[in-house]
Amino acid sequence: MKRQRRFLLTLWGLLALSSLVMAQTYSFSGRVTNERRVAIDGAQVLLSASDSLAAMALTDPEGRFRIDGLARGSYRVAVLLAGYNTFERALEIKAGDERADFLLTPEARVDLEGVTVTGNRADLVERTATGEIFHLSEKAKGSGDPFIALREIPRLYSNVGARTVTMANGERPLILVDGNRHHSGIATIDPKEIEAVEVVEIAKARYLKEGYQQVVNIKLRKRTHPFLFWEVATRHNLPWRRGFGVGYFEIGNERYALYGRAVANYTHDEETSLERTQRNTGYTKWTDGRESLAGPDFLGELQFRWMATGRDYIVAHAYATGGHKRTNGWGEGTLTEEITRQFTYRAGVEDRSYIITSSLFHKHTFAEGNTLETTLAYNRNHNENDGFRTETYPDWIYDYRYLFKNDRHSGRLDLDYSLELPSGASLAAGSQTRLVSDRIRQLYTGVPTFRHERWDEYLYADFNHTAGKLAYMLSAGLEAIRLRAGDATNSYLKPRAAASATYAINDRISTRLGYQLTNTPPTESQLNPYNTSTDSLTRTVGNPYLLPSQSHEMSLSATLNHRGWYLTPELSYRIATDLVEPYGYDDGGIYVSSYRNSGHYGNLQAGGSLSYRIGQVGRVGLSAYHAVDYFEGQPARQSFIGYFNASVNLKKWYFGLDVSYRNDSYTALSRTHYRTPDFSMLQATYYITPNFYVSAAIENFLVPYRTSTDYRSGAYSEQTLSRGISASFSPWILIRYTFRKNGSREMKERKRVSSIEEGIKL
């Protein structure tokens, strides 16, 4: 017995020793510089063994890299960076750590099927069938702020202060990260991780259903996601007006990751002055007063990601958001009928709401470039909207109050299959199933509950291919909808389609022709038949018999990029049928504002954008568009849209200037004239460290923000003058700190799921 025990102990010791010897690993480190011995940041160092990738690292701002956990053996090392020649050689890991330095030389210009490659990475522009792919300069990557970094992209307008990204023409695109929705926005992205930014002008049928006609896809480097990440930031206007506090974290390894986010926002007495004149047969009403907006809102999110097997990736997601907004109004006025009477008024609206979402995502990889994604989600939304208005006259008092309590349950199931073909083409197909059940209750009047239920099934497919200098995309979808709004029930089939062709004339010039067909169903606020106005002389009601509107859009554009210059002239024309537009009628002296499906509407837009990259210092951009609206039976209505932005990086300083202006916007019954730029901002940022910065800015610093709206329908007319009091010349200060720790064994999958439910809005 003792001999057996001694033998087992000896055997165990030998096995442990052999395991220790076999498990011993080594490191490979070094530095990458250019021909002038200047450090290169962001170069990829790849180690391969037996024709497969064994490890990868990125160089830091000093050009250094390190790869740990390497076993003995023979490797092939490659050092890559766009704009430089690839360096390759053999590497032998023997009985110790290895070190090597590399020198990269600039690459000569090459034409790769419409891809322009030069010595400066920021000049690399790739044309696709639906848009362009851009790359950031090393200066932008080192900014630490993705919104500052994206200001380098010529086709985009990145508002650092508002933390938003729009197209150069003002349209808001769908933001994707690695082809996936990123509900938390892009604030958590380290610009150093951005491999490329794809700007899609012609969205595929998959996204047309959701109302997006442009898409921005931010592509991140593989396997560089932070092993440990956390970020905190706070911003406040001075004097006290708006502010927020936010915290993010993410921690994980090659199989598991947990991401969380918490945000708290507040608005404090944001005042606007309003002067309104209403006229109808038999009366004129004039009011002069102010409105004040205040209240908090919050957001919380948790997401668990699990690489279950080498082919299966699972994400569980929970998301909640809510808020309590209060709008108060007060002022004075006159009502002239047979005589003129003075009055004072008070009005207000309280809006409380929350949305809770839970979702589950699964991705199965059949083979490289052959995947199936499944998303299942459930949403719960509750909203309370409480409004009142009191007008006090010398001999009587008008008092009206409403209270809406609204509930929504919705669910969705998405299936998305994609396949990359050997020819270089790609094919995608999928389905989207959505169920919505709304209940809208008007408590004070005792009217019946308004129920809105919708089932919608959407099938789509798209195909992409490149043949020489021609790249094209074909996409189509078919939606089956059954809609019940109160007593009205409708069922219909609606198509969606998109097509685009891009021809690269040479490595600097290309042209694109695009077409989109889409359908937009009416919103619950447009269907709701109950009055949501507290005004004594008007009612605002929806129309439960509305049908979806359909639009066709054709576009033609060209791009020219050369030595930092980027020029894009554009021309587009849109035709809409059954457009849901406002209309009104008189009901016993009370003007009723509602909606209807009209005849035809057209929109012609011509313009373009021009930008210039000032070396590694910054960029200056200008966009200008002339638009013409054609409403049926009305003369053409013209407007102008313009944007100017400039950004400069000087060592630890960043400076930004933004100005956007639009002279007019129209509906079938109204014209809004913008008497001042709708946004202007001057910003300065100082980087105490690469991960810690302080930023200060002044919004609307040119002139006080003012608009005037003229609304006319039959005998009724309404003119409104609005001036932003709190929003004019509004400074703010922001402090942001980010901590990132990269690991060499992070999860290769990085897709997150997100809630697309926006809740009931009346």
pLDDT tens per residue, range 387-429: 999 999 999 999 999 999 999 999 999 999 999 887 778 899 9
Residue, of 187 and 364, whose pLDDT is higher: 364
**Looking at the predicted structure, is the pLDDT value of residue 589 above 50?**
yes
CATH superfamily, domain 23-104, is Immunoglobulins (2.60.40.10)
Q: What is the pLDDT of residue 327?
A: 96
Tokens of 179: 């082809």
Residue 303 has pLDDT above 50, yes or no: yes
**pLDDT tens-digit profile of 643-697?**
999 999 888 898 999 999 999 999 999 999 999 998 889 999 998 987 888 999 9
Single out the residue of 464, 421, 469, 426 nearest to residue 112, CA to CA: 469
The gap between the terminal CA atoms of the chain, to the nearest Å, is 84
Higher per-residue confidence, 438 vs 168: 438
Task: Look over the chain and give the mean of its residue pLDDT values, rounded to a whole number.
Answer: 85
pLDDT at 461: 96
| pLDDT band, residue 752 (cuts 50/70/90) | low
Whether the per-residue pLDDT at 154 is higher than 90: the answer is no
Q: How confident is the model at residue 50 (pLDDT cuts 50, 70, 90)?
A: low
* pLDDT score at 410: 95
Residues of the chain with CATH 2.40.170.20: 228-375+394-741
Q: Does residue 341 carry a pLDDT above 80? A: yes
- pLDDT at position 122 is 62
Q: Is the pLDDT of residue 8 over 70?
A: no
Confidence of residue 1 (pLDDT cuts 50, 70, 90): very low
pLDDT band at 700 (very low <50, low <70, confident <90, very high): confident
Q: Is the pLDDT of residue 284 over 90?
A: yes
Residue intervals in the chain for CATH 2.60.40.10: 23-104
Q: Which helix (H) or strand (E) holds 180?
A: strand 180-181
Amino acid (one-letter) located at 245: G
Could you tell me the two tokens for 47? Answer: 């180690």
Residue 319 φ/ψ, nearest 5 degrees: -145, 135
Confidence class for position 42, pLDDT limits 50, 70, 90: confident
- CA-based Rg of the chain, rounded to a whole angstrom? 30
φ/ψ (deg, to 5) at 96: -170, 175
CATH number of this structure's domain 110-220, picked from the four choices 2.170.130, 1.10.1740, 2.30.30, 2.60.40:
2.170.130
Q: Are 48 and 76 in contact (CB under 8 A)?
A: yes
Q: What is the pLDDT of residues 90-111, one digit of tens each?
A: 787 776 678 888 888 765 433 3
List the Cα angle 239/244/250 in 5-degree steps: 155
| pLDDT at 20 (0 to 100) | 39
Residue in 142, 146, 307 with CA at minimum distance from that of residue 223: 307
Better pLDDT: 646 or 598: 646
**Helix (H, G, I), strand (E, B), or coil: what is residue 418?**
strand
Is the separation of the CB atoms in 647 and 637 below 8 Å?
no
pLDDT band per the 50, 70, 90 thresholds, residue 612: very high
**Highest averaged pLDDT of the listed ranges 67-81, 283-297, 680-694:** 283-297
CATH numeric code, 228-375+394-741: 2.40.170.20
pLDDT at 11: 38
The mean per-residue pLDDT over the stretch 276-293 comes to 95
CA pair distance 216, 172, nearest whole angstrom: 10
pLDDT band of residue 132 (cuts 50, 70, 90) is confident
pTM: 0.75
- pLDDT at 63 (0 to 100): 85
Overall average pLDDT of the 353-363 stretch: 94
- For the segment 219-272, what is each residue's pLDDT rounded down to a tens digit? 887 544 446 778 899 999 988 889 999 998 888 887 888 989 999 999 998 999
Give the model's pLDDT for residue 70. 80
How far apart, in whole angstroms, are the C-alpha atoms of residue 610 and residue 607?
Answer: 10
Point out the least confidently predicted range of 518-522, 563-567, 710-714, 725-729: 725-729
Query: Tell me, what's the pLDDT at 118?
Result: 38
Q: What is the pLDDT of residue 58?
A: 79
